[in-house]
Amino acid sequence: MSKSPFLYEGIIKDSIYSFKYYNKPYFYKLFGNCLLSYMNDIGYTDFDYIVSVPLHKSKMRTRGYNQSELIAKYLSDKLFIPYADVLKRTKKTVKQSQQSKDERRKNLRDAFGVKSPHKYKNIKNSNVLLVDDVYTTGSTADECSKTLLNYGVSKVYVITVAR
């Protein structure tokens, strides 16, 4: 199940783009507050853990921050739900926005794994909220969810700023 308060267009699209590509890490508070308000309004807050879509090491080095992680940690703090840094990107992928739906699925196949499986045993049999910035075709959310479910998570819910 995936929820998003905004459509990926206009000022929201421009703001997310600035957040990711124009070194505006502090935008996480704006997006975090919007998500928090939306989640509280629709009662989408009953989770055991919050996780975020990981960036590949090389992209993390270039950008300096993971926008999804910043939002996820903000939500974790405000909702008093533990953040679990459980996912890792195991494959460097081509930028998703430049791909067709089929290419996105192929691009992301086996692109994620679980970090330190022994450290995160406690998330097995739990309900997890996966946080990302944009939900387009659902390929990223699907692959991350599959990784988490294969690890033993009971249910994965998804929240994004826009779709």
* Residues linked to residue 130 through DSSP beta bridges, in sequence order: 51, 158
Note the pLDDT tens digit of each residue in 75-133: 999 999 999 999 999 987 766 566 666 776 776 788 899 998 777 789 999 999 999 99
Chain centroid, CA 138 distance in Å: 11
Q: Is 57 helix (H, G, I), strand (E, B) or coil?
A: helix
CA 58/CA 145 separation, integer angstroms: 23
- pLDDT value for 101: 65
Chain centroid, CA 148 distance in Å: 12
- pLDDT value for 20: 94
The CATH number of residue 42's host domain is 3.40.50.2020
- pLDDT value for 10: 98
Count of structural domains, the chain? 1
Residue 40 one-letter amino acid? N
- pLDDT value for 13: 97
Concatenated DSSP letters for 119-148? TTGGGTTSEEEEEEEE-SSSHHHHHHHHHH
pTM: 0.93
Which residues span the domain enclosing 136? 2-162
